[in-house]
Chain A
Amino acid sequence: MTIHADHSAPETAVEDQAADVRTKFGISVEDYMLPARHQIQMVNPDGTLRSHDEQGTEPGHEYPTPGDSELMAAYEQLVVGRRVNDQNSALVRQGRMAVYPSSHGQEACQVAAAMCLSEGDWLFPTYRDAVAVMTRGVDPVEVMTIFRGDWHGGYDPTEHNVGIQCTPLTTQLLHAVGVAHAAKLRGENTVVMAMCGDGATSEGDFHEALNFAAVFHLPVIFFVQNNKYAISVPLSHQSVAPSLAHKAVGYGMAGERVDGNDLVALLAVMDRAVKLARDGSGPLLIEAHTYRMQAHTNADDATRYRPDSEVAEWQAKDPLARMKSYLTDKGLLDAAASERIASHAEAVATQLREGLGEDVPVQPLDLFKYVFAKQTPQLKEQSELLASELARASSGDTDNSGTESAK
């Protein structure tokens, strides 16, 4: 193993970065770090392509349009993602899953976050990012294990370089920073995608993660899905910053805003961010404007805190309909392709229904198996206690008054 990272002194780093930015983009470091005046948006809600002048780009904030094959592959994942969200919500209603925080309406963000990464890169998702995890290649049924309730995590994070979906807000951003730091020390060219929501930007770990990533100049992309609500609390109660992307400048990193329901713009912005990070720009912050179309979870009642008219307004901006219309008009999506994609989505839904429909027997003794790498005598003793209870239960002897308990 080789460790050869260069932690240069801060003053030098700032000068270098300013010079670097001027050379690379021809703008000041402040103009580089501040997001463009408008969010980046390439396709209108009706599916028509915006003219270049209207895309929100500025000098130093320019985004090449993604290629056709990338768009088609992403659209397919978008359709699958929507189907997965709706299938899972149905499975919750049927009692097959304990809970499911749906990303219905946010699927374009989910797909872009996973698709912009290369194989050796890492993704650190939240509980609402199941579609991103699946898009990265993790088995759908394994992704849903956490919500089915037989273990806290269902997949091996090292198989696809995807952290376990994290529930305590923004704590996983620091894990992303650590993974990137370790990779940098070994001279590996790994980019790490760190995901969180708008409410999470109020957490202390959001601040610490962005600052650590900036100070150590690490290739981490902080991707905030601003879906306007933290359960019921609107963004105006979280922050009065001009935008969440503006927070980047306080850490000395670049920020950008993008239409989170426009998959074309998302891919353009994320692809560029990954390229910059991989080329040594340090971390970046991207804020995607989107909307959580459904309640926080099945246990939530969204009508208590937001008007139907607002939901209807966002319905018209649906990422899936927009992309379908755009690709159809562009001549990339015909009936045959649509059908093929739909049947792919249906196959995944079937896989979920079957995988989550069967009652997987739980293994009670696993409780003790994975607490430590090196077992303790106390856990061994407790494991034996449960084993003897299980043995008694299976032999039908539930009356333990006369039996000798295990010493």
Chain B
Amino acid sequence: MTVTTAGTSANGNVSAATASAAASAAATAEATGPQSLTMAKALNTAMADAMRADPSVLVFGEDVGMLGGVFRITDGLMAEFGEQRCFDTPLAESGIVGMAVGMAINGMRPVIEMQFDAFAYPAFEQIVSHVAKMHNRTKGKLKMPMVIRVPYAGGIGGVEHHCDSSESYYAHTAGLKVYTPATVADGYRMLREAIGSDDPVMFMEPKKLYWSKDQVDLGALRVEHDAGTSTEGRAAVARPGTDATLIAYGPSVPTALAAAAAAAEEGRSLEVIDVRTLVPFDDETVCASVRKTGRAVVIAEAHGFASVSSEIVARVQERAFHYLAAPILRVTGFDVPFPSPKLEHYYLPSVDRILDAVDDLQWED
């Protein structure tokens, strides 16, 4: 297969030819107006659109080719773009990430899949020592325009090593950006933005939301992307409210929304913030909400100790202390190894546990 079109290499060694306006226009034309879409399809469409628009975008990993990935997120990409641009690798995660580093050095934009959260650990050295540091070490001469997609977190009854919330490891590593979408539309817009970014992005996909559906206007999202709209560092107000703020991200956003809906029935108005990108973090939107409501609960599936949720609490109290009517509370996974399927519902943040935390926000004062 031969693809001839424009290159947008971050490292500047791909010669540009003609732009792929035609392909992009064709993709835009096929879907206009809202349609029912799963997050899986939104992510898949984002990759396909990015591959149509830029021949330097490559997709590879374990089982992503013929099979379309164990979650089918790369379904059809090998058929459309050929096995040069979407292919299976040997079963070795460090190899996948390390090879992607070399490809990024040499003009490509790799989008790679780690099959499951806990299977990404063999690649940790490459991620921490090279993906995160290459730009810094070379004073920007070598950029790392790559996306590492990680299906993560629980809620699907997975066996051991298939349900870890590993986002805090990456968020703690200087030099990585960490995105995690919670809605179908964000699945598309955030993955497109990640692929277009000249920075390395850990793209954490809440696997329990892969099959969640929403009415989404792909045509509008494409126009939005082409216009350069950015969600990086921009949290979303997922539900407005006045009495307290629930701060959530990724898989916890729907749980927080359900809690807010239940609280509304009892006459309590909760605002839900979807953080969207953990790195960079949107201090402004989160703190504005807390200053308005005066109370906050942070919700995350990951262990609470030394985690993204503890970082959020620290940042908010540093910036909004005088607006707080109560200590900021957290509802997180317990500090135990991720439980087996029949025990996971005791571990995961639940609507009841969130409502209990809200009740503890010193309303009587």
Contacts and interface: CB of A to CB of B under 8 A. Distances in A.
Interface of A: 1-7, 122, 151-153, 156-158, 163-164, 168, 171, 173-183, 185-186, 204-205, 208-209, 211-212, 215, 366, 369-374, 376-378
Given A1-B16, A175-B101, A215-B89, 11 more contacts: A4-B1, A151-B139, A158-B11, A168-B125, A177-B95, A185-B58, A211-B92, A215-B90, A373-B143, A374-B199, A374-B232
A153 B14 contact: no
Contacts of B333: none
Interface in B96-141: 97-108, 122, 125-126, 129-130, 133-141
A179 B90 CA distance: 17
A1 B280 contact: no
8 cross-chain pairs, A with B, having the tightest CB-CB distances, nearest first? A178-B102, A174-B98, A208-B95, A376-B280, A373-B198, A182-B106, A175-B102, A178-B99
A226 B123 CA distance: 27
A158 B85 CA distance: 24
B4 interface: yes
Nearest to B145: A373
A252 to B, nearest CB: 12
Contacts of B32: none
A121 to B, nearest CB: 12
17 contacts: A1-B15, A3-B85, A4-B1, A4-B84, A156-B141, A158-B13, A174-B95, A175-B102, A182-B102, A185-B108, A209-B98, A371-B136, A372-B199, A376-B279, A377-B233, A377-B283, A378-B280
A278 B18 CA distance: 29
B177 A153 contact: no
B147 interface: no
A33 B186 CA distance: 51
Nearest to B99: A178
Contact of A1 (B4, B99, B129, B136): B4
Contacts of B6: 1
A377 B285 CA distance: 13
B13 A3 contact: no
Contacts of A183: 106
Given A4-B2, A371-B174, A372-B199, A178 B141 contact: no
A296 B260 CA distance: 62
Q: Which has the most chain A C-beta neighbours within 10 Å: B14, B106, B107?
A: B106
Chief secondary structure at chain B's binding surface: loop
Contact of A157 (B90, B99, B141, B283): B141
B94 A7 contact: no
B13 A177 contact: no
A238 B214 CA distance: 56
B210 interface: no
Contacts of B85: 3, 185
Nearest to B174: A371
Contacts of B279: 376
B197 interface: yes
Q: Which has the most chain A C-beta neighbours within 10 Å: B85, B134, B141?
A: B141
Contacts of B94: 174, 204-205, 208
Interface of B: 1-7, 10-17, 55-56, 58, 83-85, 87, 89-90, 92, 94-95, 97-108, 122, 125-126, 129-130, 133-143, 174-175, 177, 197-199, 232-233, 279-281, 283-284
A117 to B, nearest CB: 15
Given A163-B105, A376-B233, A3 B84 contact: yes
B139 A153 contact: yes
A3 B2 contact: yes
A158 B137 CA distance: 13
B99 A181 contact: yes
B66 to A, nearest CB: 11
A178 B101 contact: yes
Nearest to B85: A3
Contacts of A158: 11-13, 141-142
A374 B135 contact: no
Nearest to B134: A164
Q: Which has the most chain A C-beta neighbours within 10 Å: B103, B133, B232?
A: B103
A205 B175 CA distance: 22
Nearest to A373: B198
B95 A205 contact: yes
A201 to B, nearest CB: 15
B281 A378 contact: yes
Q: Which has the most chain A C-beta neighbours within 10 Å: B55, B94, B102?
A: B102
B141 A1 contact: no
B95 A370 contact: no
B10 to A, nearest CB: 7
